[in-house]
Amino acid sequence: MSGDELLAEIEQIDAELVALLKSRAEKARALVREDPARARTALSLEADAALHRRVEQLGATNGDATLPPDALHAVFREIASGCRVLFETPRVAYFGPRGTFTHLAACRTFGASADFVEALTIPGVFRLVERGDATSGVVPIENSTEGGVNVTLDCLLESRLQVQGEAVLEIVLCLVSHERDLPTITSVYSHPQPLAQCRAWLSEHLQHAAVHEATSTSAAAALAASTPGAAAIASELSAELHGLSVLRRGVQDRSQNATRFVVIGERDARPTGRDRTSLFFATRHERGALKLILEVFDQEGINLSRIESRPGRQKLWEYVFYMDLEGHRLDPPVARALMRVEQACGMVKVLGSYPRAH
């Protein structure tokens, strides 16, 4: 087959794809009109998670596929995002400004059709959603190098909002600047988390430069763009937005560096069969109290993926425990375990159940 013939077939397939997408949108519009409640469920984030699993299964059955899974997910994410606005346009608050990793995580979760609004702090994201100025919010909760994001955990403990989804983003940190080489850099800006993730690299390569904290990686890039001799640790997107050059790529101390983000809203998600539940609990001040709680989950056959302590807000030196477990709060084993834990603990707060990212 000649090149012209192959090109003609590709163009024909493109026309067929557009026709199919129009047909999908028409069916979604009809569902919104005929059964709004079912439409809301079908166009929700948990439906997106199920769609991505179907895409993975379809890709796995085609050994000759040339499109990588990430590319397929990106295509179907935008299809779902475009159809979702037939019901409502999500207004999504994120820890900004534009160009931060949280901004990227929000875009990858909700797609380009959502309406995005930035907040300059993590508590600001919570306030926007609590006031109804946004339908959902996206905030970082955990980094594979530095652990939990304490301000997010504290906000979750104090807020009425629920966790309704999560996203995991590979973090590639870059040194960006107008400067052309390392010796001319006199100051480095970034958010405290990325600075901690690059501590060893900075000590080895930029020990002569002063290190300054910024409210976000994007704000750090803006400072680097306006300050002679300055650089920022930020994303490539931030560098592009602020007209900076990437001097070094991948300056994080660990090559495998990922951040987990959570989506917050007024309600959590429906069961999907591949879920996670997050909660806080406080044990009584008795010997073996924590062991007793952990045994409850073990007896119910529930896998715990994370547990850590945080200072409580009621009394000095009192602590609460944050926990992630596999399963939905409506799954019978999880429901039984939570009921037993509530009977044994002084405080239990379920933050929500939601589809696992992986």
Active site residues: 259, 261
Closest Cα to residue 272, out of 328, 190, 227?
328
- Going by their DSSP bridges, the two strands 174-177 and 230-234 should be labelled as antiparallel
Rounded-to-integer distance, Cα 252 and Cα 255, Å = 7
CA distances from 318 to 283, 307, 312, 321 (A): 10, 16, 5, 10
Enter the tokens of residue 178: 């107008």
How would you list the strands of the sheet with 275-282, edge to edge?
Answer: 304-311, 319-326, 275-282, 347-355
Positive or negative: CA dihedral 102, 108, 109, 113: positive
Rounded-to-integer distance, Cα 270 and Cα 283, Å = 28
DSSP state, residue 183: G
- Going by their DSSP bridges, the two strands 210-213 and 245-249 should be labelled as unpaired
Task: Classify the phi-psi angles of 111: left when phi > 0, otherwise alpha if psi is within -120 to 50, otherwise beta.
Answer: left
The amino acid at 89: T
Residue with tokens 């989950």: 297
Displacement of CA 29 from its chain's centroid (Å): 29
Rounded-to-integer distance, Cα 9 and Cα 32, Å = 35
Closest Cα to residue 357, out of 108, 179, 151, 120?
108
Rounded-to-integer distance, Cα 189 and Cα 202, Å = 11
Residues 23-38 as b/e (b if ≥16 CB within 10 A, e otherwise) read eeeeebeebbeeeeee
Are the C-beta atoms of 353 and 324 separated by less than 8 Å? no
